[in-house]
Amino acid sequence: MCLTTDCWTSRSNDSYIAVTVHFIHEGKFVNALLECKCITDDHTSSNLATTISNITDKWGVTSKVLFAVSDNAANITGALKMSKLKYMGCAAHKLNLVVEKGLLVQEPVIGKIKRIVTHFKSSTKSWNKLAECQAREGISPPKKVINSVPTRWNSVFYMIRRFLELETPLKMASALIDIQLPVLTPDEWHSVRSLCVILKPIEEMTQMLSKQSYPPAASVIVMINGLLELLADFRKKDELSPVHAVLEILQAEILREDRFGHIESSGTLSTCTFLDPRYKLDGFSDPKAAAKAQVLVKNLIIDKMSIHHENDNIRTPTESEKTDEEKISVFASFVKRKESKSGHNKKTPESRAIIELQRYLDEEVINLSEDPIMW
C-alpha cells in the first residue's frame, strides 16, 4: 500500500490536508481517500506527521504503508521522514516547477494574454461581442476564453491554446469594444504558437502522471528521457526559434539534481521501470543503469526466495529411518533415485532468481496500451 498526501489553503484561507492510499485489489488499482480535514495547528513537520499518523492509525493501515509521495514542500517531506516512511517527491509537482521556470522568459506576452482573457471573462458586454464575432467565423456554440491559475502550469497551456483558437474573433472583438486592451505583435503571435507546440507533449506527460488508473512511477524514467529528446529536437527547428530560450531553460531545469537529474540512478524508479512488462530493459537510455536495475531486482528476488529456502530443504528420512513398509514398496527404487538426483540438483536462491529473471526478460514486452496489472 502506498500513500499520497497534499496540503493546501482554500480561498477562505482555511488550511486542509488530504491523505489517500493506493493499492491493488482483485487485479485492479484502487485509490481510497482516507480523510480530508481542516488543520488549525501550525504546519510544522511534527504537527503534520502526527496528523498523518492519526489518520492512518484510525483506518488501521499504518503498518501497511510501504511508500509515501507528496509535493516537495519542506514541511511535508519532513513529516513523512519523521513518520519513517520511504518517501519520494511527486514527479508531477517537479514537472510543474520545471515548466514554471521556463515560462518566466515568456512572461511579457503571457501577461498580455492574461489581461485580455481576464477582461473578456469579467465583462458581459465584451463577452457578447466576442460571441458575435465567433458566430461570424462559424464557431458555434461560442467558446469561452480560459484563464490560468497560479498553481497549475498546464492552465497556462490551456489559456494560450484557446487564445490561438480564437485569434481572429478576439482581434475583431477587441476592435469593437471601448476598452483599450493589449495588442500582440506579429512576433508575439509567432512566439505563442511556438510555445503551444513545445508545451503540448509536456501537458500530455502531466496528464499521464496524474492518472489514477495505474501507478505512474514505472513510466517516469521513460517519459523524462522522451521529453529530453523532444526538447533537443525542438531546438533544431528554425520555426521554433522564438522559444529556444524556453527550451534551454526546460532542459537545464529537468537535469537539476533536485528535479530529474540522474533519474535512472533512482533505485525505486529504476526497479518500477524494469518490472513493468511494457518497458523492462528497453525503458532505460543508459545500458549501465539498466544492468544495475537488473542486479537490484535479482537481489530482491533472492531475498524473497531465501525466506522460503529452508522450507525447500526439509530433510527427507534416511534409509535407516524408513519403515519396513517403505523399504519394500514397489516404488522404493524410484523414490531412491529421485531423492539422489534431487540432492545433486538442489537450486540455491540465487540460481532460482537468475532463472526466474531470465524467463521474465525472454518474454516480449507488451504494448503500451496494455494493462501491466492484468499481465
- Cell of residue 198, nine digits: 513545445
- Cell of residue 232, nine digits: 533537443
Name, in order, each residue with C-beta under 8 angstroms of 128's C-beta and a sequence gap of 6 or more.
none
**Separation between Cα atoms, residue 104 and residue 102, nearest integer Å:** 5
Ramachandran region of residue 13, left (φ > 0), alpha (ψ -120 to 50) or beta? left
Ramachandran region of residue 159, left (φ > 0), alpha (ψ -120 to 50) or beta? alpha
Give me the pLDDT at residue 216, please: 86
- Cell of residue 16, nine digits: 486542509
3-state SS, residue 371: coil
- Cell of residue 90, nine digits: 511527486
Name, in order, each residue with C-beta under 8 angstroms of 134's C-beta and a sequence gap of 6 or more.
140, 142, 143, 166, 169
Give me the pLDDT at residue 165, please: 98
Q: What is the Cα 41 distance to its own chain's centre?
A: 31
Residue type at 119?
H
Give me the pLDDT at residue 373, please: 87
Beta-strand relationship, 87-89 and 28-38 = unpaired
Q: Please give the DSSP secondary-structure letter assigned to residue 179.
A: S
pLDDT at 1 over 60: yes
Q: What Rg, from alpha-carbon coordinates, does the chain have?
A: 29
**Burial readout 31-64 (b: 16 or more C-beta within 10 A, e: otherwise):** eeebeeeeeeeebebebbbebbeebbeeeebbee
> Which uninterrupted H or E stretch holds 203?
helix 186-210
**Separation between Cα atoms, residue 320 and residue 327, nearest integer Å:** 9
* Each residue's pLDDT tens digit, 190-243: 999 999 999 999 999 999 988 766 778 999 999 999 999 999 999 999 999 999
Give me the pLDDT at residue 325, please: 52
**Separation between Cα atoms, residue 347 and residue 110, nearest integer Å:** 65
* Each residue's pLDDT tens digit, 317-341: 555 555 555 556 667 777 777 766 6
Question: Which residues partner with 271 through β-bridges?
Answer: none
Predicted TM-score (pTM) of the model is 0.86
- What average pLDDT does range 179-188 have in this prediction? 96
